[in-house]
Structures are given as C-alpha cells and as structure tokens.
Amino acid sequence: MGCSVAAIICAAGSSRRMGGLKKEYCLLGPEYTDDAQKPLTVLGAAVLPFVRSKRIKTLVISVPPDAETGEFAARASLPQGLLQIDATPRIFFVPGGRTRRISVHHALALLSTFPGEEPDFVLIHDGARPWVDAPLIERTIDAVIQHKAVVPLLRVIETPKEIDEAGFVCRHLPRARVGTAQTPQGFAYPAILRAHEQAAEQELAAHKEYTDDAELWGEFIGPVAVIPGSPENRKITFPEDLRSRI
C-alpha cells in the first residue's frame, strides 16, 4: 500500500511589502496561463503543480481570516475546474492566524479532522512561490518518504557574514555549509503536527516565534535532510518581483 501525501499552501499573509496588494492574487503576466489559456495568478501558479501531481490527494490553502481577502477571494484566484466536487486532489480552505506558524498549524489541524484519511506525509509550500515545478515536488516527496523531514536548499554563492545589533560583522560563516531554505518542505504528518503543538506551547510560555517549519522539526523532533533547491523557485516579496522570472 502506497503512502498518502497532502499539501498545504500558505496564503494567509498580509503582503505588507507589496504596497497594498495581496500578492497571491496578483496576475503573473500574459505568458503564464492555465490549461484553458486563462491568465494565472500567483496563487494559481503555485497550486497547479501540486494539483497535477498524481501523488497528492488532499490540498489545504490557508487564507486570511477577513472577508475581503479570505476564502472567496482565494477561490476566485484559482483556475476554473480545480474546485469541482469530484476533482482530485480535494481542495480545502482554512482561515490563517496572526503568524505563518499559526496558519500552518490551522491547516495541519484541519487534516486531522478527516477520520481514517490523515496523510502519512505533508508538503508545506509558500503561496508566493509561483515558479515551483513538478520535479522539485517529486524530489521532495521521494526524500520525505526516506528521511521523514526534508527542505530544499540553495547553496550560497557569495560569502555570508553574520552581523551584530550594532551593524558590525561578528562572525564569518563558511560558505560551503550555508544555504537558503525554500519550499515545499516535507514532513511526516503526525510528527509535524505534534511539533506545531509543542511550538504553540513554547510561544505562550517563552514568547518565542518560529518562522520556518524545518526549524520546528529540528527543535522538537530531530534532524532535517536537505535536497537541492531550484534557482527559479523564487518567493515574491516586492512588486518588482512580479515583473521577471529570473
């Protein structure tokens, strides 16, 4: 019997650095279209490769909790046909929270409400990364089945430096051992849900804040494996990021 895989797409952020635009709902450009040749939004482009994967059975999209940019707007930004009752994967929406971690926790918790259908593994992806491709998704699934936790990593080309609060270099980091994390990150489902539950307790007790799911796994569960990321799998943060792919 094969492993079941679900995916979570994080799209609940406020897009503060986009000048008032909700970046996931912005159009990518005329060269990016769906199967019906309709223009793709950032969220639509991020979702499609997961929908096309034969290995993903359930997909949860975290959305802002407000009415203006919440589930209705997210639905409208997706390609037609993805939300049909008999479509695979099944797509669900869940209101996000104050932070990304809380939003992911909400999505993970939703997956636990399907009795007998909880996934073995889950991929967690940023809705603002529209250029994720099928090969990276498949490599992540293969790696998470083998290692239980995996993150795509891009090696740093230029020499990184750590800076102190006064603005001075305090540590010279070895370039060969430093990289930048991408998504989708993959995890064994029951354990990453447990890690989020423990992180929620820590946030209340020690006022900590977690910004990365691999960080949670590393603190509460164990080691995280690394696979090569993709230079094209960029995250949209500023309006100019929408203008060019590279």
Distance CA 17, CA 34 (A): 27
- Cβ burial of 110 (10 Å; 0-12, 13-18, 19+) is middle
pLDDT band for position 8 (cuts 50, 70, 90): very high
Closest to 118 (Cα-Cα) out of 134, 107, 102? 107
Burial of 171 (0-12, 13-18, 19+ CB in 10 A): exposed
Structural domain count of the chain? 1
- Res. 2: pLDDT tops 80: no
Residue (of 191, 26, 10) closest to 93 by Cα position: 10
> The domain containing residue 73 runs over which residues?
5-242
Is residue 20 predicted with pLDDT exceeding 90? no
pLDDT digits (tens, 9 = 90+) for 169-197: 999 988 888 899 999 999 999 999 999 99
More confident residue, 176 or 151: 151
The Cα–Cα gap between 131 and 246 comes to 10
DSSP labels, 173-194: --GGG-EEE-S-EEEEHHHHHH
Q: Name the least confident of 19-23, 53-57, 161-165.
A: 19-23
Q: Which amino acid is at 176?
A: A
One-letter amino acid at 170 equals C
246 pLDDT higher than 60: no
Q: Which of 221, 197, 212, 89 is nearest to 147 (CA)?
A: 221
Distance CA(82)–CA(222), nearest Å, equals: 36
pLDDT tens string 76-120: 999 988 888 778 899 999 999 999 999 999 999 999 998 788 999
Output the CA–CA distances (angstroms, integers) from residue 47 to 42, 155, 189, 192, in the order listed.
Answer: 9, 25, 20, 21
Query: Whole-angstrom Cα distance, residue 8 to residue 111?
Result: 10
Answer whether 184's CB lies under 8 Å from 60's CB: no
* CATH code at position 186: 3.90.550.10
Q: In whole angstroms, how large is the CA radius of gyration of the chain?
A: 18
